[in-house]
Amino acid sequence: MNLVNLLIAWLVTSVSLYIISKLPTGVEIDSFSKAMWSAVVFGILNALLYPVLFVLTLPINFLTLGLFSIVLNAIIFGLAAYLVGGCRLRWGFWSALIGAVALGIINSLIYKLLGAVS
């Protein structure tokens, strides 16, 4: 991944997080700059923790036919919200779960609109 693709991914995720904060998902982000910081933290946690958590939960993931990956995304989403000031989850884990699913959907839509391949 080159620098331009990394910057595009960061901007798309930031915009997606800001959109999610305006929807009734229980995710509250104070400003777009906080959404940008949240995208950075989410990206770093996703790159570092997701592979480890995926390997540790591989039996559960296998039994649920991969659906447990959504829970892993919610855990990382919630951890990112916890680490960034100005980002709150009104309903705790459920907000993280809804936010993680919404992030995937909105990111996909924005990439589709841009005509970019993630």
> What tens digit of pLDDT does each residue of 91-118 get?
999 999 999 999 999 999 999 999 855 4
Please give the Cα distance from 59 to 54 (Å, whole number).
Answer: 9
The amino acid at residue 81 is A
The pTM of this model reads 0.92
Angle between helices 3-22 and 93-114 (to 10 degrees): 130
> What tens digit of pLDDT does each residue of 7-65 get?
999 999 999 999 999 999 999 999 999 999 999 999 999 999 999 999 999 999 999 99
Region label for 23, one of left (φ > 0), alpha (ψ between -120 and 50) or beta (otherwise): beta
